[in-house]
């Protein structure tokens, strides 16, 4: 099922082509996903039930959580769907919504039930399910957690098409920003519970100490059974300005590459000064939406150029030297 050549390290290498930074999260996810699909294979052979380890991704919005899961599923060649916990809490028919999510997974697998049953479901904003939500009409966050718990544990779910989908081997990845969790953690963490000696590796101690504990999530407002189903936790870091710059330039499908491609198709070369990326990163950083605002700023800069270029067959090259200056149109013969 999982290609024999796939190893956690090759998963990370592939992720590196599309996702900037988040090295620790990449490794945790790679190992988790690798073990998950290995376990399924063994479960088949030996018919021994193995507990599934679903994953929780904690980190600010726009730092690559969805992108990472998407990229991962593409590499593994498994069907992938995303859903929003907030919208689950806004409906009174939460089980219908869950059924619809699994139906989408089946659609992504082109109706192949066996493929869908080893797909990945990403549920974002689970931090919004903390109790109480104050939602009068919808379903309370806590009942949504219970409903999700059932399918995360593994259950046959009847779809509208009258078919049953078994979620036992579906990998669930939950995500959320968990604003306020750090305060809870700094309150409860400390070396108090482990004895430290000089021989102990400080890095390992630090890692243990910054680990998100189930009790932290419980105090945050998730029910224990739900956190218990998410034993693997990966934390995503805030993106720095240099990371924002790299995001615009480095990935295979980076914004820079996308717009160069568009202009190449017009027979025009595009060059953008390194300084421009820094200026855009600076603005995006101020917006505090991770990498989300990069595209908008980039599009705004490119729109006047994309408007003019098709009318100008004397232009062979466009140079942008500053976000705050008009671009230079280089004239030549195409
Ligand atoms: N670490 C990253 N590397 C590359 N691109 C990123 C990264 N983080 C965010 N992005 C860009 O920002 C967009 C939004 O990111 P997303 O993965 O949806 O964030 P999240 O799910 O953490 O809120 C993505 O489509 C991607 O273009
Ligand atoms: Mg997201």
Which range, 118-122, 183-187, 204-208, has the best average confidence (pLDDT)? 118-122
Please give the distance, rounded to the nearest whole angstrom, from the Cα atom of residue 62 to the centre of ligand 1.
5
- pLDDT for 50-70, tens place per residue? 678 899 999 999 999 999 999
For ligand 2, the distance from its centroid to the CA atom of residue 317, given in whole angstroms, is: 36
Angle ∠(96,98,103) on CA atoms, nearest 5: 90
pLDDT for the residue numbered 133: 47
Residue 211 pLDDT: 81
The ligand minimizing its distance to the Cα of 238 is 1
79 lines ligand 1 (CB under 6 A): no
pLDDT in the model for residue 196: 64
Span 101-109, average pLDDT: 96
Which mutation among 23, 66, 67 tests ligand 1's pocket best, with the greatest number of atoms within 8 A of CB?
A: 67
Confidence (pLDDT) at 52: 84
CA–CA dist 46, 231 (Å, integer):
24
User: From atom 25 of ligand 1, which residue's Cα is the shortest distance away?
Assistant: 67
* Ligand 1 contacts CB of residue 247 (under 6 A): yes
pLDDT of residue 194: 58
CB 93 within 8 A of CB 270: no
> How far apart are the C-alpha atoms of 210 and 182, rounded to whole Å?
9
Q: Is the pTM of this model over 0.85?
A: yes
How many whole angstroms from 189 Cα to the centroid of ligand 1?
Answer: 30
**Highest mean pLDDT range out of 183-192, 196-205, 261-270?**
261-270
Residue 57 Cα to chain centre, angstroms? 8
Quote the ligand 2 centre to 60 CA distance (angstroms): 9
Higher pLDDT: 41 or 202? It is 41
Percent residues over pLDDT 70 in the chain: 90
The answer, yes or no, to whether residue 134 has pLDDT greater than 60, is no
- Say what the pLDDT of residue 140 is: 85
Centre of ligand 1 from the C-alpha of residue 156, in Å: 33
Residue that has been written with the tokens 């544990």 in this structure: 153
Nearest CA to ligand 1 atom 13: 292
Q: Whose CA is nearest to atom 4 of ligand 1?
A: 19
Residue with tokens 């630090």: 206
pLDDT at residue 197 greater than cutoff 90: no
Is residue 171 pLDDT above 80, yes or no?
yes
pLDDT bracket for residue 208 (50, 70, 90): low
Query: Residue 46: is its pLDDT beyond 80?
Result: no
Token duo for residue 253: 């499908």
Query: CA-CA-CA-CA torsion for 259, 261, 266, 272, nearest 10 degrees?
Result: 50
Write the pLDDT tens digit of every residue in 247-280: 999 999 999 999 999 999 999 999 999 999 999 9
Best mutation site among 24, 64, 252, 256 for ligand 1, i.e. most ligand atoms within 8 A of its Cβ?
64
Mean pLDDT over each residue of the chain, to the nearest integer: 90
Give the model's confidence band at 170: pLDDT under 50 very low, under 70 low, under 90 confident, else very high.
very high
CA of 301 to the centre of ligand 1 (A): 20
Summarize the confidence of residues 2-21 as an average pLDDT.
93
> Which pLDDT does position 258 carry in this prediction?
97
Q: How many residues does the chain have?
A: 334
As a whole number of angstroms, the distance between CA 277 and CA 78 comes to 35
Q: Given the CA of residue 68, which atom of ligand 1 is nearest to it?
A: 17
Who contacts 319 (Cβ-Cβ below 8 Å, separation ≥6)? 271, 272, 273, 327, 328, 330
Average pLDDT over residues 228-236: 94
């Amino acid at each position: 099922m999982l290609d024999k050549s796939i190893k956690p390290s090759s998963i990370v290498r592939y992720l590196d082509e599309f996702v900037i930074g988040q090295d620790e999260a990449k490794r945790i996810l790679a190992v988790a996903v690798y073990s998950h699909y290995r376990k399924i294979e063994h479960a088949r052979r030996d018919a021994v039930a193995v507990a599934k380890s679903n994953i929780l991704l904690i980190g600010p919005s726009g730092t690559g959580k969805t992108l990472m899961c998407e990229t991962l599923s593409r590499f593994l060649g498994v069907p992938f769907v995303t859903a929003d916990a907030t919208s689950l809490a806004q409906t009174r028919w939460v089980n219908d919504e869950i059924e619809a999510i699994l139906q989408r997974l089946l659609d992504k697998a082109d109706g192949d039930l066996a493929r869908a049953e080893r797909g990945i479901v990403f549920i974002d904003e689970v931090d919004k399910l903390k109790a109480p939500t104050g939602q009068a009409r919808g379903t309370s966050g806590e009942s949504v957690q219970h409903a999700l718990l059932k399918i995360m544990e593994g259950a046959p779910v009847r779809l509208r098409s009258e078919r049953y989908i078994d979620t036992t081997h579906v990998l669930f990845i939950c995500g959320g920003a968990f604003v306020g969790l750090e305060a809870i953690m700094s309150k409860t963490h400390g070396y108090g519970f482990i004895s430290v000696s000089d021989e102990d590796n400080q890095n390992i101690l630090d890692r243990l100490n910054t680990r998100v504990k189930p009790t932290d999530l419980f105090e945050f407002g998730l029910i224990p059974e739900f956190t218990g189903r998410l034993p693997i936790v990966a934390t995503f870091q805030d993106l720095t300005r240099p990371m924002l710059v790299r995001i615009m330039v480095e990935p295979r499908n980076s914004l820079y590459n996308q717009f160069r491609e568009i202009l190449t198709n017009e027979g025009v070369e595009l060059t953008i000064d390194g300084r421009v990326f820094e200026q855009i990163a600076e603005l995006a950083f101020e917006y505090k939406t991770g990498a989300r605002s990069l595209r908008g700023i980039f599009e705004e800069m490119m729109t006047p150029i994309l408007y003019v270029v098709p009318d100008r067959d004397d232009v062979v090259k466009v140079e942008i030297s500053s976000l705050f200056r008009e671009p230079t149109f280089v004239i030549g013969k195409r």
